[in-house]
Amino acid sequence: MQFGGAGLGSFGSLPLLLLFMVGMYFLLVRPNQQKQKTWQEMLSKLKSGDQVTTNGGLRGTVISLREDTVIVRVQPDGIKLEFVKSAIAAVTTAGE
């Protein structure tokens, strides 16, 4: 015996699939986009004198900036190192 709604089984899961995709967007994609945006803003506001930490864990003070590189002075010997801006993980300005 076949009921009138028996053929809708495959279309009934479509709203559930769409809901799942929207949920995944808001749980995974959107937070990463926001994090990337704040990181880009942080790099654009980078200036001499800022205390920075690199992705490798080195901490130092920004001495000079170029378009895509940063020169950082590392203590205790005051060694100058050159990094690409994308290697900067965090910035702590003198006021913080």
Helix (H) or strand (E) holding 33: helix 30-44
Residue 80 has pLDDT above 70, yes or no: yes
What global pTM score does this model have? 0.66
List b or e across 15-28, with b for residues whose CB sees 16 or more CB atoms inside 10 angstroms: eeeeeeeeeeeeee
pLDDT at 94: 54
- Structure tokens given for 96: 């913080």
pLDDT tens digits for range 18-75: 999 999 898 989 999 999 999 999 999 999 999 999 999 999 999 999 989 999 999 9
Q: To the nearest whole percent, how much of the chain has pLDDT over 70?
A: 84
pLDDT at 12: 75
Longest alpha-carbon distance in the chain = 86
